[in-house]
Amino acid sequence: MIKFTAREVRDIIISMVVIALIFAYVFSGRNLSNPTNFISLIPITFIAVGLAFVLHELAHKFVSIRYGFWAEYKLWAEGLILAVIVAVALGFVFAAPGAVYTYGSNISREQNGKMSLAGPATNIILAAFFFLLLNSSSLPTLMLLGFLGFAVNSYLALFNLIPFGIFDGAKVFRWNPLIWIATAAVALIMVLYSFFGLASI
């Protein structure tokens, strides 16, 4: 049975709001002397980033629960502060607002790998959805939403597939290097496409 604690819901909402605002700030060109562009991007980043972040974390949680473990999202205050500092100082997003913690004994390498893969795989699926939106709409707002959704989800998928440390990619790689290579390759292609496609938006 899927359950959410009050603290978990609070942490998810705080993380989502902060990350969405950071993306709006970066995509607006980091110029708050004229905040119109930043403000106009907020609803779009809440949809694009909100779905990217929340569904990524929920995918981890649901797969963990499917295996019979207790899983709960917890905010990293230090990660949110670092994300703000990096965005302001360097102009890009280092998104590490928190993580889903899975509690249980005898978690196998395969289970851990699949639970970890669920998040980036969800972002790849969302990126494909936003790519279809981008290419099927002639409305500027929907095209922008499609592009940002595609770019953000592609970036988050690739970022989380880093095969080191605490990242999802490290656990996926330890479980099955071939699956990691295939998934990371798809995410990399998407990121490169979103980067070079920026000029056409």
Q: pLDDT tens digit string along 16-27?
A: 999 999 989 988
Note the pLDDT of residue 198: 53
* Three-state secondary structure call for residue 104: coil
Q: pLDDT tens digit string along 131-165?
A: 999 888 888 889 889 999 999 999 999 999 999 98
Note the pLDDT of residue 194: 86
Instruction: Give percent helix, percent strand, percent coil of the chain, each to the nearest 5.
Output: 75, 5, 20
Note the pLDDT of residue 111: 96
Note the pLDDT of residue 95: 73
How much is the pTM?
0.88
Helices 36-66, 109-136: axis angle to 10 degrees equals: 140
Query: Which residues carry out catalysis?
Result: 57
Domain extents in the chain: 6-200
Q: Which residues of the chain have pLDDT under 70?
A: 197-201
Q: How far apart are CA 157 and CA 124, in angstroms?
A: 6
